[in-house]
């Protein structure tokens, strides 16, 4: 039995969440109390995902039924983040006397999350680079070699790379301080590793911050291992623009960690990435030194309308992202790294032009453009109704309403300072602007994977 105040670490299936919400909705609508019946319209589509324990869900439902009877003692978004940062930066030691990294000896890299979209590209780039001597991949999944092979096949990466003598693929238990590694393997890593790329993260735009606590806790465990290494290890954390999505749009997002938690996204994924940024930054000071664009496109095909994207976008292809991180890896081996580098496209382009290019590639003449607000309203109207598993497959935007609201282009577009990133990476500095060929390639890929009919 699940304790009322403990969240399950298992994934909550979208259909199950929809079923539970519909039961709550039905109970409110059938109430003889007119105030409770009227409150049915206030039940958000993500009520189950946003409240992942029975205690929280019961409290929210009770508050909706009778706001005057429930004390307003819940923490603010910023307070929740600060509490989690404090919890996972407690007792960080100050570390000195580490062995300097000598790039001429070859880099030894630990990579987490090697079977995902970015992770598989990072693994391919690291294995292909002669300056890398060894790569340890740390993944939670069992049969990790098979998962890596499937990831390479899916991304059309050379499978022969996975037979490299440089690769050691390890399955870990992120819930343990030693990550579930045997004593000899852990000692080998601590003795040799020079760089860590922490890329593993759950991607789910429905969940609350607390549902990402296992990711945040494993980040601290990885930091603790790095602190105990013999070398002055460089630690790279792959964050997300969602961690700064609520920043002031009047100025570029700087290449440093923002101490204001209100600049992060209000949904759990972005907030968790921001929280981890803060933890990694605190640790660095202590050392004294399921993609949303295809979701929108597929859903747009289903409802017959694409959103008008009025702002510029700085999206960056996965291969460029991966190569830029590897560039930075080597550049930072020879100099003190900056606290943050913003790996976004240095040459933003018109978002509307890209969406028009995607429409051309889709070859759907009847697909019309509407304002983002109108497009979102169409999705929200569908989200308010009862949904089947078929609906969720056909219109995946129904599962990411909170994230889509945060993307509302009418609120302005963030720009990012990429000075440090371009200095460290020639790949990023020389990246070509996105255009029609990129849009056509995306659509071909989505079709090849059965995402588009």
User: Does position 64 have pLDDT exceeding 90, yes or no?
Assistant: no
pTM score > 0.85 for this model? no
User: Does position 113 have pLDDT exceeding 70, yes or no?
Assistant: yes
Q: Are residues 318 and 189 in the same domain?
A: no
Report pLDDT for 6: 40
Q: Is residue 80 part of a domain?
A: no
Cβ 149 vs Cβ 143: under 8 Å: no
Cβ 343 vs Cβ 364: under 8 Å: no
- Determine how β-strand 167-171 pairs with β-strand 195-198: unpaired
Residue range 39-52: average pLDDT? Answer: 72
pLDDT band at 312 (very low <50, low <70, confident <90, very high): confident
Helix, strand counts (H, E) of the chain: 19, 9
User: Does position 420 have pLDDT exceeding 80, yes or no?
Assistant: yes
User: Does position 402 have pLDDT exceeding 80, yes or no?
Assistant: no
CA distance 108 to 136: 8
Q: Are residues 329 and 283 in the same domain?
A: no
User: Does position 199 have pLDDT exceeding 50, yes or no?
Assistant: yes
CA distance 388 to 372: 25
pLDDT band at 267 (very low <50, low <70, confident <90, very high): confident
φ/ψ of 286, rounded to 5, equals -65, -25
Which two structure tokens, joined as six digits, stand for 131?
Answer: 């300056």
Least confident interval from 114-123, 202-211, 337-346: 202-211
Residue range 130-158: average pLDDT? Answer: 92
409: nearest Cα among 313, 311, 314: 311
Q: Is residue 3 part of a domain?
A: no
pLDDT band at 341 (very low <50, low <70, confident <90, very high): confident
Q: Are residues 389 and 443 in the same domain?
A: yes
Q: Are residues 285 and 302 in the same domain?
A: no
At residue 171, the 3 state secondary structure works out as: strand
Q: Is residue 284 part of a domain?
A: yes
Residue range 335-349: average pLDDT? Answer: 85
Residue range 411-431: average pLDDT? Answer: 85
Residue 420's H or E segment, with its range, is: helix 419-424
Cβ 265 vs Cβ 406: under 8 Å: yes
Q: Are residues 127 and 237 in the same domain?
A: yes
Residue range 25-37: average pLDDT? Answer: 83
Q: Are residues 260 and 383 in the same domain?
A: no
Q: Are residues 53 and 182 in the same domain?
A: no
Give the best-scoring range by mean pLDDT among 16-20, 170-174, 201-205.
170-174
Q: Are residues 333 and 400 in the same domain?
A: yes
Report pLDDT for 412: 62
Cβ 248 vs Cβ 412: under 8 Å: no
Residue range 377-406: average pLDDT? Answer: 80
Q: Are residues 256 and 299 in the same domain?
A: no
Q: Are residues 435 and 338 in the same domain?
A: yes
pLDDT band at 358 (very low <50, low <70, confident <90, very high): very high
Say which CATH number the domain at 162 has. Answer: 3.40.50.720
CB atoms within 10 A of CB 70: 15
Q: Is residue 244 part of a domain?
A: yes
Of 264, 290, 316, the residue that ends a domain is 290
Largest CA distance in the chain: 76
Report pLDDT for 147: 93
Of 241, 256, 290, the residue that ends a domain is 290
CB atoms within 10 A of CB 215: 18
Q: Are residues 30 and 132 in the same domain?
A: no
Which two structure tokens, joined as six digits, stand for 73?
Answer: 């003692």
Number of domains in the chain: 3
Least confident interval from 157-166, 288-297, 322-331, 360-369: 288-297
Q: Are residues 122 and 266 in the same domain?
A: yes
Residue with more model confidence, 383 or 49: 383
CA distances from 411 to 250, 271, 355, 375, 406 (A): 11, 19, 19, 15, 9
User: Does position 72 have pLDDT exceeding 60, yes or no?
Assistant: no
User: Does position 408 have pLDDT exceeding 60, yes or no?
Assistant: yes
Q: Is residue 237 part of a domain?
A: yes
Q: Is residue 79 part of a domain?
A: no
Least confident interval from 48-57, 146-155, 255-264, 336-345: 48-57
Of 51, 74, 97, the residue that ends a domain is 74
Q: Which domain holds residue 284?
A: 86-290
Q: Is residue 146 part of a domain?
A: yes
Report pLDDT for 319: 79
CA distance 332 to 350: 33
Q: Is residue 4 part of a domain?
A: no
């Amino acid at each position: 039995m699940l304790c009322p105040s403990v969240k399950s670490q298992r994934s909550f299936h979208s259909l199950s969440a929809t079923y539970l919400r519909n039961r709550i909705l039905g109970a409110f609508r059938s109430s003889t109390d007119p105030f409770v019946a009227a409150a049915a319209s206030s039940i958000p589509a993500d009520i189950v995902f946003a409240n992942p324990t029975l205690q929280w869900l019961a409290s929210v439902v009770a508050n909706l039924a009778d706001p005057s009877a429930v004390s307003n003692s819940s923490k603010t978004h910023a307070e929740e983040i600060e509490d989690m940062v404090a919890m996972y930066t407690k007792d960080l030691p100050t570390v000195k006397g580490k062995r300097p990294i000598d790039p001429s000896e070859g880099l030894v890299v630990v990579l987490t999350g090697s079977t995902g979209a970015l992770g598989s590209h990072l693994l391919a780039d690291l294995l292909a680079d002669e300056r890398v001597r060894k790569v340890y991949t740390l993944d939670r999944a069992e049969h990790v070699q098979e998962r890596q092979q499937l990831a390479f096949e899916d991304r059309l990466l050379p499978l022969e790379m996975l037979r490299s003598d440089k690769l050691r693929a390890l399955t870990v238990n992120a819930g343990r301080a030693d990550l579930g590694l045997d004593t000899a393997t852990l000692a080998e890593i601590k003795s040799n590793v020079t760089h860590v790329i922490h890329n593993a993260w759950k991607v789910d735009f429905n969940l609350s911050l607390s549902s990402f606590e296992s990711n945040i806790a494993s980040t601290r465990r990885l930091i603790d291992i790095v602190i105990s290494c013999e070398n002055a290890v460089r630690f790279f954390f792959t964050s997300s623009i969602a961690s700064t999505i609520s920043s002031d749009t009047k100025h570029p997002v700087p290449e440093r960690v923002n101490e204001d938690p209100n600049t992060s996204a209000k949904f759990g994924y972005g907030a968790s990435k921001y929280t981890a940024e803060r933890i990694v930054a605190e640790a660095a000071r202590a050392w004294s030194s399921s993609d949303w664009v295809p979701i929108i496109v597929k859903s747009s095909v289903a409802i017959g309308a694409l959103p008008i994207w009025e702002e510029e976008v700085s999206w960056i292809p996965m291969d460029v992202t991966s190569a830029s991180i590897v560039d930075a890896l080597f550049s930072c081996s020879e100099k003190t790294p900056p606290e943050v580098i913003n790996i976004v496209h240095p040459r933003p382009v018109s978002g509307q032009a890209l969406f028009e290019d995607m429409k051309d590639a889709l070859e759907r003449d009847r697909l019309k453009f509407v304002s983002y607000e109108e497009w979102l309203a169409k999705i929200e109207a569908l989200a308010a109704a009862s949904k089947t598993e078929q609906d969720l497959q056909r219109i995946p935007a129904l599962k990411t309403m909170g994230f889509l609201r945060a993307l509302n282009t009418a609120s302005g577009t963030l720009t990012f300072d990429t000075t440090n990133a371009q200095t460290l990476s020639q790949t990023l500095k020389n990246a070509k602007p996105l255009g029609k060929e990129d849009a056509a390639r995306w659509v071909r890929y989505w079709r090849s994977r059965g995402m588009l009919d």
